[in-house]
Amino acid sequence: MSDAPSGGSPASAAMFLTETGYPDSPTLASGLLDVGDGHHLYWEVAGNPSGIPVVFLHGGPGAGFSTVHRRFFDPARYRIILFDQRGSGRSRPYASIAHNTTAHLVADLEILRCHLGVDHWLLFGGSWGSTLALAYGQAHPERVLGFVLRGVFLCQQHEIDWFLTGMGKFHPESYQQFLAALPPVERGDLLTAYYHRLSHQDPRIHGPAAYAWASHEDACARLHSQPHAGPPPAAFDGQRGPLPFLAIARLEAHYMVHRGFMAEGALLAGLGRINHLPCIILQGRHDLVCPPETAWAVHQGWPGSTLTIIPDAGHSALEPGIRRGLLHATATMAERIQPGHGMTP
């Protein structure tokens, strides 16, 4: 499948679509982009150089992207842009929360857009990626062709509270280990306690906290959950390089402590700036990380949007029902976007 063509007609590309997505296409270009404040973002472009520009906005924040995410897009129709947000993946410095706010990430998107010579693009984001898509779209609606959103999260206080305590009602075994990473005296304010530990420079302090945070979230992310990761490794001494799960735990706590660096309800209040644009929303019925009420609220405030609730899915974009829905969404958007990258009526 990796040898499938990245060009040709849309019909020929559709022949290669499978249940797991489109074939991966070769990387056309990649690099590290200096966005200021000491941050350098890793980016890649794949697909059709003349295709519809689409930018993949990963979750977390802190999760980064992988090559599997390119497979949501028909490589014959789309110019596929992926990048690791500040502190994530291959961007540098790794797991840094310095100069890392929603406003910084929105500005980074504009820098990347200009760097790649993109006039307008489709925004594709799930979980935190949906938050960033809405924040960017409301700041720069004139640069957006449309939205594909999944597992919507708006960084509202009740969503943060649910993440910290509500998910544990359904996964008490992982929640017990989430609590056990903190001494009893610190458990009265979980977010503050975790933030202090995750922000600490000593891996013997931030390591166990990051492992517990990321493991609990992972246990809650799918309808059919994987076996729990179990107790953390015996030692976090910093001698084996950066911890792969540090960025997602540290950055998530950082953004939650600061309520997404936005006023409560700001993204819902700002829907009027973008609700003239097309929007397709996919939501797992049994999403424990980002429950469906938030996607419903966005849909209610966006009369032209479409919301599909997948009955047999949780939070992960790679669950079969969610994956199929996202593939259908990108195919639908490709039909609606004209060759000159305008939208059909």
- The catalytic site residues sit at 127, 287, 315
Ordered DSSP codes for 134-153 = HHHHHH-GGGEEEEEEES--
Q: Is 11 exposed, middle or buried (0-12, 13-18, 19+ CB in 10 A)?
A: exposed
Q: Is 179 exposed, middle or buried (0-12, 13-18, 19+ CB in 10 A)?
A: middle
Residues paired with 30 in a beta bridge = 44
Tokens of 16: 């290669």
Tokens of 75: 């490589």
Q: Is the peptide bond before 93 cis (omega within 30 degrees of 0)?
A: yes
Tokens of 122: 């489709």
Q: Is the peptide bond before 61 cis (omega within 30 degrees of 0)?
A: yes
